[in-house]
Structure 1
Amino acid sequence: MTNQMGGRRRVRSRDSISFRKGQTAARGRVSGWIAPLLVAGLSLGTIPAAPAWAQSYSFNTVQIDGNQRIETATILSYAGISRGQTVSAAELNDAYQRILASGLFEEVRLEPRGNTLVISVTEFPTINQISFEGNRRLKTEVLETAIQSQSRRVFNPATAERDAAAIADAYAQAGRLAATVNPTIIRRSDNRVDLVFEIFEGGLVEIERIGFVGNRVFSDSRLRRVLETKQAGLLRALIQRDTFVADRIEFDKQVLQDFYFSRGYVDFRTTAVNTQLARERDGFFVTFNVEEGQQFRFGAITATTDLPDVNADEFGAALNVREGGVYSPMIVEDNIARLERLAIQKGLNFIRVEPRIVRNERDLTLDVEFAMVRGPRIFVERIDIEGNATTLDRVIRRQFRVAEGDPFNPREIRESAERIRALGFFSDARVNAREGTTPDQVIVDVEVEEQPTGSLSFGGAYGTNGGFALIASFSETNFLGRGQRLQLDVSGAEENQTYEIRFTEPALLGRDLALDLELGYRETNNSFADYDTSIIRFSPGLTFPVSAGGRLRTFYKAESVEISNYEFTGTLIADEEAQGQLWSSALGYTYSYDNRRSGLNPDAGVLLQFGQEFAGLGGDSTYVKTTARAQAQTSILNDEVTLRATLEGGMLNFTSGSSRVTDRFLIGGSIMRGFTPDGIGPREVRTTGGAVEVNDALGGNMYAVAKIEAEFPLGLPEEYGIRGGLFYDVGSVWDLDLTNANTIYDDFSLRHVVGVSIFWDSVIGPLRFNFSKALEKEDFDDEQTFNLTISTRF
């Protein structure tokens, strides 16, 4: 066996028996050439010279020497020479080759001695133990799974050679293509050896540059953001996806194709991927050669059928695709699933939807005909689940929309597999269908490999509004294997102390109904207010789907709020503090619609939320609180620039009594950038001798904020993860139940803010730096020109 440099592989021995050490192989191949420990060839002098090769032999006795573990009969069976049989020299050589090929012997000799054939063998030693030296990046447990050699088994140089290559390949998958592996044996007593794999791990081989050839619509920087592989930069010590892994390149080719297909470029293909190793062998240059083709849009959309019991017009009305829109296979797949679900609802089993696409080159459109046909009558016999040692079977089974005995739908099985993977409980999940006990039945096999789902973390956080904080958190997303989520959080900041426990049952009573429970306690010692608060909250809720992208959450909330440590008298907040601890008991709901859940439009998304809270079911307060939010996002200029717009507002109406500062809306911070969390709105300002004695933010019963922003590249290398942004916010908070002579800004008055942002996808999470300037504000508004939020766990 030879490699690109030539030479034979040999196993090195550390004892007195020495073997030639081979050259170092390139690109992570085995560095030591493993040579067979076999002594090939018949013994000199035991076979006559060339003129006598035609001589025949007949042996009355076959004598076996040197075997210790291998039975004599076994060796004779390999030789295939019987007593008294006439054999030629060529047949003797064949016998030698058969014994050698058994892989049991290090040395074989065949020596004719008159009427006796002496077969001398030296058995391969057994492996006493296997060890690895020099491995720091890959654990021994990982390497043990990659090799075939085993302790207390016969040592085989060919197997050791393959094991060394497998170890080198494991390092290559980790981006260490320069890794070399030398298999070494250490002789022990009783014909035993220790097998040692000497490993030189080498350095990471990074991707120095990722380029594209043939792309006209999307820039190199935009396409690099799509890829899983990243190119190395200044932060190469922190970025883990900039190492060269061949399998990841193949995955990137598929991701790149999906990116173009979802944007209507149905002719896109990657013609080649060129990888060039740097001369120093420490980096790769990767170039994707692509053909984009033309962008296609949807043409005529129709639903047809030849089945008498199917109304094509009714199914056509259920289609959710518009003519003239950019073509996307995801939209077609979604509508196929929509029609098949409608057929099941109408009791029409075994209906299959076949998309028939007609290409119109002249106007670059694709006509899509959704043809409904009768599929084969196949039923689900049973669903078998294996590999789930912790997760209960029912957690996996509820991801299926079909049960035993239901009609078999391949599309539904594929969607169920995706839902199982999306749980996050398994490192791998495979769902396959095979023929059942009869041809009209199938068995669905589910094989999963579980992974850890719990975490205990300690860390720190810093916010420009809350200061430093110590954080401890326990999270379990598959609590007791039931698919439930449990989270405990403790945060001790300079100005806020929070203790929370949250529990979620995602499938109450086995249905698509989520139950959540929240219990929390929070203390605030605000630097931006002259009072402290303590809040206790208990809130259970139920969430369920009401449409494809819509969810409705109903909840109950019991809350206790107390205002304390206020040092002034004769003010509105002093009067509110005097009320002491107040309880509220409320029922509420929140409706949300998010078309990003369907994933049909990769360039845009819309989020709508509307909620109301009705208090007065006991407690000390009676009010109606209404909030609404609409957010839209889209990408322009070939996805280089992302635009976002947000409109939100709220209204608080106390039907008995009056609101307190802890009930009203305090606007600023993340809701309206450029101001502190209570930076705008009604205030109580009292002066004594020209000096401001009291300056309290009171909040308001109403607020409205509109925000628009753009995010765009800065021309920096993509691997830095740094982008820029511009934003403009306008909003106001107003209206109080009670006022006095010192109350100001109670009316509707808009504030305007502009700013720039720096977005950084750092290794500790996404960071945002905001630099803002208020274009229009009131004199006593509390402006904040810089804001940074950073959180890290370690």
Structure 2
Amino acid sequence: MTRKLGKRAVALMTALAITVPAGLAPGPVLALVFNDIRIEGNAQVEDGTILSALNLPRGQDVSPGEVNDALQRLQNTGLFETVELIPEGGQLVVRVSEYPIVNQISFEGNRRVDDARLAEIVQSRARRVYQPSQAIQDAQTIAQVYAAEGRLSARVDPRIIRRSGNRVDLVFEIREGAVTEIERISFTGNRAFSDRRLRDVLQTKQAGILRTFIRRDTFAPERIPLDEQLLTDFYRSRGYADFRVQAVAPEIARERDAFFITFNIQEGPRYRFGRVDTVSEIPGVDASLFAEQNRVRRGAVYNPSDIDTTIRRMETVAIQQGLDFVSIEPRISRNPSSQTLDLTFALTRGERIFVERIDIEGNTTTLDQVVRRQFNTVEGDPFNPREIRNSAERIRALGYFADAQVETRQGSSPDQVIVGVAVEEQPTGSLSFGASYGVNSGVGLNASLTERNFLGRGQTLGLQISTADGDRAAGINFVEPFFLGRDLRFGFAASYNETDDLNSDYDTRIIRIQPSIEFPVSENGRVELRYRISEEKLDNVTTDSSLLLQEEAGTRLTSAIGYTYNWDSRRTGLDPLTAYRFRFAQDFAGAGGDTKTVTTTALAGVESTAWRQNVTLRGEVEAGAIYTYGDYSTWILDRFRTGNRIRGFEPNGYGPRDLVAENQDAIGGNYYWAARAEAQFPIGLPEEYGIQGGLFADVGSLWGLDDTSYVTPGGVPVTIDDDMYVRAAVGASIFWTTPIGPLRFNFSQTIRKEDYDEEQNFDLTIQTTF
């Protein structure tokens, strides 16, 4: 901002005057005749421009009203600060004062929006004529920018500072004001779910203790339709088929520093499915084959996704049977008295329409084939509206595009349609730096570079480096999600990891290469096949360690093939309240290398909500076993170690242990099992604080060694107790979602342990990227 000259001038005032000879007023209106027009005061504007705006004839009668109209036309050009029309006999004197030239434009008081951004949005320009109307419009535009950021109380005043040579500096004085936050979101008409639970559904959030960081607490009118849809989907997926949002009432406080939003909703009754039938209205088509695909069960809570899933399955059967243009029409009949819905899936003949072509535009980097392979429909296939909608969702789910619209239009004939795909690309690469903290591992740093759409082919390429106290790792991974043009996910990973006295008196180094391929075997199930080759080294084993570990020191090469079966109900999302997952994996080592083991692990888990979905319940059971063959015996890098399978114990804090060794090493085990139960629930704080409580209980064991006996150098025989001893712990947790990442505080107490086990009664974990 340039130096002010004494005091700032106020906004320019426009002076309009018509001087009429005294003899002409009052009295009857007399005509005026001007044989000449003389213009004074103009330096930048040509005489011709002024005469054109006046548009007064010479030598002809004109009325005072016409003179006034001419004055208004001249003033409305916006070129002059003052205008005077002075009749002097047969001459009209036009005396003007031109608006000054804008010397420079500056902004004062802006901290949230920088000068460069403001300069782009204002239309006033330096070295052009100053126009008060444009300056006022620019001030309003600046205020709108602040309003979009939630500062509705922002005020912008245009001021001018006069300079010599008929120049002015234009200054926009900005008072940004505070963010106009959403102080409260409330609901009327809700009985089944609390305000707290419904606020969790919305994208809009109310202000809380973290209002400085949570930006969704500002009111954005464009988010209201999305919030309405989220509420509707939430209720209807839980049986409330008649639910609707009757009104949304946003109110702003008198001081314009707070919003209050009220959703007026109508829940309606909760329905269950009643009679469910499948009928065919197409001659020659048997409905029984389609009825086998029905996934809607009598007595189940109404859920539109169940109907949608059944329709998709029936449409798949129609395609497999070569039945084109079959439409599955769900017909619902309400029974308010019993609060049930009778459902009939009717097979009807649809219109005979074909896909003429698929047009893709807007993808400057992403190859057409990446978008096209999201369609199960190709040119010439019968048109299936549902399949087109599903394809659109798959395109959006890629994450490559800021916007993706899929629409159909009339083709070259009435029975042809053209599918148009318009996408807007967005950056798909990320460079992140992160920090982690654990009570045992301390502070760690990590960095990663990831490109999710490598070379526009839809491939993923990632590089990772991390370091923590006693643990360093680096890795590279590559994923081709559509290998050989099919739904085959090819992956390649290579990693290097070394530990240096990480809760142990030895060091390890592992170099691993692992290619894999994954494919679907059902709607919710996928299988991964993999091969792993790795070099594992155990060294720097101290003399205080178990003689068993000292004998295991060295390097081994592992060559293994394996598979993993994953089943996850969340892939189809049929039940919004409960999710199940199951994993079973086996690795067979011995196809070359030094290791000869069969490693088997399994995990089953469930997560559900209760008490009006305010409480989340989780349960998991897992187990593992290692079997050897030939004359091979497992070593520490083969065997299972405790990790965090049972909370309340340190890493390597339980399991077989050599009590004769000076440091009483944890040896690991060939077998383990663990069961975990957990509840997460609100603790009375406003949900926008992101703080919840939890209770947990863990139980399990780690046991079994191939070699349990050795003889000390002094000739003393030693036997390591590797029996299965059950450990158990209970505890409480605090979950806190913070701007720097999710924090979890665990406070635990063991209730069953061995004397030599190592407890850990408190644990804090955090993971974030920035």
Contact 2:620 2:676 in 1 (8 A): yes
Match of 2:608 among 634, 639, 657: 634
Task: Give the drift of 1:190.
Answer: 8.1
Q: Which runs of 5+ in 1 are unaligned?
A: 1-12, 22-34, 687-691
| 2:657 match | 683
Distance 2:24 2:316 in 1: 84
| 2:628 match | 654
Q: Does 1:500 align with 2:475?
A: yes
Match of 1:693 among 662, 668, 672: 662
Distance 2:411 2:81 in 1: 50
Distance 1:508 1:601 in 2: 31
Task: Give the drift of 1:605.
Answer: 0.6
Contact 1:382 1:405 in 2 (8 A): no
| 2:140 match | 165
| 1:32 match | none
Residue identity in the other structure for 1:684: D
Distance 2:45 2:312 in 1: 64
Secondary structure of 1:672 counterpart: coil
Q: Does 1:721 align with 2:690?
A: yes
- Per-residue Cα deviation, 1:312-332 (whole angstroms, up to 9, x for no partner): 333332232222222223333
Distance 1:602 1:632 in 2: 12
Q: Which runs of 5+ in 2 are unaligned?
A: 710-716
Secondary structure of 1:419 counterpart: helix
Distance 1:731 1:548 in 2: 32
Q: Does 1:293 align with 2:268?
A: yes
Match of 2:680 among 703, 711, 714: 711
| 1:755 match | 731
Pair 1:241–1:570, CA change in 2 (3 A): closer
Distance 1:192 1:695 in 2: 87
Contact 1:79 1:99 in 2 (8 A): yes
Residue identity in the other structure for 1:721: G
Contact 1:765 1:792 in 2 (8 A): yes
Q: Does 765-774 or 267-276 show the bigger shift?
A: 267-276
Secondary structure of 1:697 counterpart: coil
Residue identity in the other structure for 1:731: G
Alignment of 1:7-86 (within 5 A): 20=10, 49=25, 51-53=27-29
Pair 1:165–1:311, CA change in 2 (3 A): farther
Contact 1:467 1:495 in 2 (8 A): no
Pair 1:205–1:509, CA change in 2 (3 A): same
% same residue: 51
Task: Give the drift of 1:636.
Answer: 0.8
Distance 1:671 1:343 in 2: 47
Q: Does 1:621 align with 2:595?
A: yes
Contact 1:340 1:352 in 2 (8 A): yes
Q: Does 1:571 align with 2:547?
A: yes
Task: Give the drift of 1:523.
Answer: 0.9
Distance 2:449 2:268 in 1: 50
Q: Does 1:776 align with 2:752?
A: yes
| 2:514 match | 539
Residue identity in the other structure for 2:236: F
| 1:134 match | 109
Distance 1:196 1:413 in 2: 54
Distance 2:472 2:15 in 1: 77
Distance 1:400 1:189 in 2: 69
Distance 2:197 2:649 in 1: 34
Contact 2:730 2:751 in 1 (8 A): yes
Task: Give the drift of 1:181.
Answer: 0.9
| 1:327 match | 302
Task: Give the drift of 1:439.
Answer: 5.3
Distance 1:703 1:240 in 2: 45
Task: Give the drift of 1:706.
Answer: 1.5
Match of 2:206 among 226, 231, 239: 231
| 1:786 match | 762
Distance 1:431 1:108 in 2: 58
Contact 2:108 2:171 in 1 (8 A): yes
Contact 2:730 2:750 in 1 (8 A): yes
Task: Give the drift of 1:623.
Answer: 2.1
Pair 1:243–1:658, CA change in 2 (3 A): same
Contact 1:532 1:564 in 2 (8 A): yes
Task: Give the drift of 1:344.
Answer: 4.0
Residue identity in the other structure for 1:225: D
Q: Does 1:457 align with 2:459?
A: no
Residue identity in the other structure for 2:751: L
Residue identity in the other structure for 2:464: D
| 1:591 match | 565
Task: Give the drift of 1:205.
Answer: 2.6
Contact 1:464 1:788 in 2 (8 A): yes
Contact 1:39 1:108 in 2 (8 A): yes
Distance 2:439 2:367 in 1: 44
Residue identity in the other structure for 2:614: E
Distance 2:160 2:287 in 1: 75
Task: Give the drift of 1:617.
Answer: 1.9
Q: Does 1:517 align with 2:492?
A: yes
Contact 1:14 1:185 in 2 (8 A): no
Distance 1:208 1:271 in 2: 22
Task: Give the drift of 1:354.
Answer: 3.6
Distance 2:307 2:596 in 1: 50
Pair 1:320–1:78, CA change in 2 (3 A): farther
Residue identity in the other structure for 2:650: T
Contact 1:257 1:269 in 2 (8 A): yes
Secondary structure of 2:664 counterpart: strand
- Per-residue Cα deviation, 1:697-727 (whole angstroms, up to 9, x for no partner): 2222222211111111111221221111111
Distance 1:565 1:466 in 2: 20
- Per-residue Cα deviation, 1:367-393 (whole angstroms, up to 9, x for no partner): 33334441362534441312x444444
Pair 1:127–1:347, CA change in 2 (3 A): farther
Residue identity in the other structure for 1:784: Q
Contact 1:682 1:743 in 2 (8 A): no
Contact 1:184 1:195 in 2 (8 A): yes
Secondary structure of 1:166 counterpart: helix
Q: Does 320-329 or 538-547 show the bigger shift?
A: 320-329
TM-score between the two structures when normalised by the length of structure 2: 0.88
Residue identity in the other structure for 2:454: F
Pair 1:614–1:281, CA change in 2 (3 A): same
| 1:368 match | 343
Q: Does 1:426 align with 2:380?
A: no
Task: Give the drift of 1:535.
Answer: 0.5
Distance 2:354 2:322 in 1: 16
Residue identity in the other structure for 1:654: T
Task: Give the drift of 1:634.
Answer: 0.7
Secondary structure of 1:658 counterpart: coil
Match of 2:195 among 220, 228, 234: 220
Distance 1:273 1:748 in 2: 60
Task: Give the drift of 1:614.
Answer: 1.7
Pair 1:14–1:121, CA change in 2 (3 A): farther
Q: Does 1:283 align with 2:258?
A: yes
Q: Does 653-662 or 282-291 show the bigger shift?
A: 282-291
Match of 1:181 among 156, 161, 179: 156
Task: Give the drift of 1:49.
Answer: 4.0
Distance 1:533 1:496 in 2: 10
Distance 1:16 1:145 in 2: 30
| 1:732 match | 701
- Per-residue Cα deviation, 1:325-378 (whole angstroms, up to 9, x for no partner): 222233333444444444444444444444332221011122333344413625
Residue identity in the other structure for 1:591: Y
Pair 1:183–1:323, CA change in 2 (3 A): farther
TM-score between the two structures when normalised by the length of structure 1: 0.85
Task: Give the drift of 1:218.
Answer: 1.3
| 2:714 match | none
Distance 1:750 1:281 in 2: 62
Contact 2:354 2:380 in 1 (8 A): no
Task: Give the drift of 1:146.
Answer: 4.6
Pair 1:169–1:310, CA change in 2 (3 A): farther
